[in-house]
Amino acid sequence: MHAAERERLIVEALGPTGFVSYRELERLLQASPATIRRDLAKLEEAGRIVRVHGGAKRPEGSDPGPVLVGTPFSQSIQLNTAAKQAIGKAAAALVEPGEGIMIDGGTTTLQMCPHLAGLRCQVLTNSLHIVEALLPQEGTGLLVPSGSVFREQNIILAAAGEESMPRFHAPKLFMGAAAVGPQGIMQADVVLVAAERRLIERAEQVILLVDSSKFRTQSGTIVCGLERIDVLVTDAVPPELADILAAAGVKVVLALPAG
């Protein structure tokens, strides 16, 4: 079991009582005490739990609603900003006027929004940040799925197996990732993985937007293999991955930050 999945299960195990014991976590995770202690330390550092005698509890005053494992949006938006802006602009250039598109939530896909003005597109997105950015654009249509709002990322996700998407045909899906490697596209949280797989099933063309830092990490749950990605928009590709991407049939679009 990946660390990200263990962390998600720990947070879910807090349940309505707001407490979970070490004994319960050992049974749930089937991991060593040392591994569980590391997971709890990481979650406590992120402010997700508080370690107490005999287990862990939910922080005082915290919202017990649904949460995602991974870097919160408020932190991620501050990382590699110039690269993400260049990538968003290059990705928006792939959109045809009047086209229907899907944009998955993320700090890089968000950077597409300013460049969609005037294209009169129909946009299906699960991101409230993207909705807010596109609302002022006259002529840009917006659709959102049903589901729970995950506040840390400000996105709307439905439980696995639940059909939450409106009837909408969109030839292109623009999506991000927590990590990219030879094995495929990865995300930290299995709920997000399930949601992105549903989007991919609806797309004719999958366009991945990631800055080069995402090639340096190789952890998470696999969303899909590289062969399912049609276009990769990024600021740089590691030499050791270039041939693998070419063999998978992925077209690479390089977007260099200004200056």
CATH class for the domain made up of 3-57: mainly alpha
Which residues of the chain form CATH 1.10.10? 3-57
Whole-number mean pLDDT of the chain? Answer: 88
User: CA angle, corner 151, sides to 64 and 142, nearest 5?
Assistant: 140
pLDDT digits (tens, 9 = 90+) for 118-131: 999 999 999 999 99
**What would be the CATH architecture of the domain defined by 73-254?**
3-Layer(aba) Sandwich (3.40)
Q: Please, where in the chain does CATH 3.40.50.1360 lie?
A: 73-254
Q: Which strand ranges, in their side-by-side order, compose the sheet holding 100-103?
A: 141-143, 122-125, 100-103, 172-175, 205-209, 231-234, 251-254
pLDDT digits (tens, 9 = 90+) for 43-81: 998 888 999 988 999 887 665 556 666 667 777 888 899
**Among the listed ranges 16-20, 44-48, 99-103, which one has the minimum average pLDDT value?**
16-20
Average pLDDT estimate for 30-55? 90
pTM reported for the whole predicted model: 0.74
**Mean pLDDT, residues 193-205:** 90
